[in-house]
Amino acid sequence: MFRPLILVILWAVLLPGTSVLGHVVQQGIVGEGTPFATRWYSHDSEVDGPTVLIVGGMHGDEPAGHRAASQIATWSVDRGRIIVVPAANPPALADRTRRIPGLEEDAGDLNRHFPVIDGTVTPTGPAAPSLWSFVVSVEPDVVIDLHEGYGFRAAGSKSVGSSIITHRRADDAAQASMLEAVNTGIEDPERRFVPLRTIVAGSLARGAAVSLDAEGHIFETTTAKQPLSRRCRQHRTMVAARLVALDMIEDASIVNQMVCPDDARPTIAIYDGGGAGGASQGRRFEAQLPGCRVDRIGPADIRAGCLGQFDAVIFPGGSGSGQAKAIQQSGRDSVRSFVKDGGAYIGVCAGAYLALDNYSWSLQLLALDSFDREHWRRGRAMLRIDLTESGHEVFDAGDSTLDISFRQGPLMRSSVELDGREEAEVLAWFRTGVGENGADPQVMVDTPAIVRGRFGSGRVLLFSPHPEKTDGLESWLRSALDWSIEREPVGREIPVASP
């Protein structure tokens, strides 16, 4: 028998709930007034059923759990209720460290602060008491804690990466159904998720299983050689599978919901699948997008139609052909449809290559060709550019002539065939060039460095160089987005949803 859906909050700040189509949506703060204050979200169907609690961000160096939980916090259910705490350990997340800053070993490991003594959890440390009080108050039937390991357990790693750790044998069937869901499509047997049991002592999930008689699981993705978007999707897939089995949602398509429809902020997807740069590149882009809701998006997300939830997509540096191969033809068609229907596309270096015309894998968003293709490895350098009058308006630059980081971006010129498309507008010209590996630096001079145009109802802006890697030009990415999604310039008051 499931517990009654009653929420008792004595130590947390309860924000007003809203009722939408029979669903009650609430949020509040755990640990109000402390360095560990963090927000929780609750979606109550008002139909009798289980309570599922999802926790992310227990360890600050495991970003997929925190981000996936933030995405799951936008979900609603048809039966029972789902409660999400996306950022259980805010100081560690801010520092990107496993432990609470300033505390060593288990004293700093929040997931060792819920020891069971005589059948009861006795929380320790500065953060666990308020979090455990919250867990007790919501009376969960299922507790799922989202984590990451450093290696693949199936490949023989000592890490618990790519596993589901379940505390009780009575929950083997639940574990098996989630494993089946997440392993669908993982062809490499060494990367498949495996079952583990006996959750580590002192952990939140074990404490809930032993002390509250809840079903307890820890989901572990693997950070090694996997982009963040894939790991987040794996977490969402496992959670969705459990909700389906509990008859809380109709089907697992909810895994594709990443953004709250009511979020007033600009919603930006940054591609981080095959062909994109590493994690540091994604963090750099995110840091330069103030006031935006930013999510990493991968090939599977794009092919599933997730782009429709966003105002804009950014394809960053890396390999244009690699990005095209990873998202496949169906993904390329999805990107084109997204832009044609009014979405914005920002391409930087490799992302600019991807948007051009004359490759077999091109998106063909703007009527521009890449030329001198045999010398694409022409080198890296700080190059001089001149902004046009339109470029001044977009980037609000004080000087017309600036230096910008170039790392083998495309050389662009108008396509022979416009196919009814308008010609792209140049926002900046290269005035110097670089020539390595047989390239002639003069070929670059007086060619477009930054361009913009329309594709269908959407807007496209392409950077051959890298403003995000150039000191003093960090605001250009946001300025490009302001133009591409037709918003007011930076400086206006942007509505910001709760973190």
* pTM for the model: 0.91
Query: How many whole angstroms separate alpha carbon 110 and alpha carbon 88?
Result: 9
Fold of 267-484: Rossmann fold (3.40.50)
Position 455 pLDDT exceeds 70: yes
Position 2 pLDDT exceeds 70: no
Mean pLDDT of all residues in 161-187: 97
Query: How many whole angstroms separate alpha carbon 411 and alpha carbon 443?
Result: 9
- Confidence band (pLDDT; 50, 70, 90) for 487? low
Fold of 13-256: Aminopeptidase (3.40.630)
Contacts of 128 (CB under 8 A, 6+ apart): 110, 113, 114
Position 4 pLDDT exceeds 50: no
Contacts of 199 (CB under 8 A, 6+ apart): 165, 166, 167, 205, 206, 209, 216, 218
Contacts of 393 (CB under 8 A, 6+ apart): none
% of residues, the chain, pLDDT over 70: 93
Taking each helix axis as running N to C, give the angle between helix 228-245 and helix 63-72, from 0 to 180 degrees, rounded to the nearest 10: 50
Identify the helix (H) or strand (E) that includes residue 24: strand 23-30
- The pLDDT assigned to 480 comes to 96
Mean pLDDT of all residues in 175-193: 97
The ranges assigned to domains in the chain are 13-256, 267-484
Strand, coil or helix: 275: coil
Domains 13-256 and 267-484 in one fold:
no
Q: Which residues of 444-481 are buried (b: 16+ CB within 10 A; e: fewer)?
A: beebbbbbbbbbbebbbbbbbbbbbbbeebebbbbbbb
- Confidence band (pLDDT; 50, 70, 90) for 3? very low
Query: How many whole angstroms separate alpha carbon 170 and alpha carbon 185?
Result: 27
302: tokens are 């794009």
Residue for token digits 């517990």?
Answer: 3
Mean pLDDT of all residues in 198-206: 96
The residue type found at 176 is A
Lowest mean pLDDT among 31-35, 112-116, 151-155, 417-421: 417-421
* Helix, strand, coil abundance in the chain, percent, nearest 5: 30, 25, 45
% of residues, the chain, pLDDT over 90: 87
Q: Which residues of 372-403 are buried (b: 16+ CB within 10 A; e: fewer)?
A: eeebeebeebebbbbbbeebeebbebeeeebb
pLDDT digits 0-9 by tens, 396-446 = 888 889 999 999 999 999 997 777 778 899 999 999 999 999 999 999 999
pLDDT digits 0-9 by tens, 471-485 = 999 999 999 999 999
- Confidence band (pLDDT; 50, 70, 90) for 16? very low
* Residue 5 phi, psi (nearest 5): -85, 75
- Confidence band (pLDDT; 50, 70, 90) for 22? low
Q: By C-alpha distance, which of 40, 262, 272, 232 is closest to 134?
A: 40
Query: How many whole angstroms separate alpha carbon 40 and alpha carbon 389?
Result: 47
Could you write out the three-class secondary structure of 58-73?
CCCCCHHHHHHHHHHC
- The pLDDT assigned to 495 comes to 29
Position 9 pLDDT exceeds 80: no
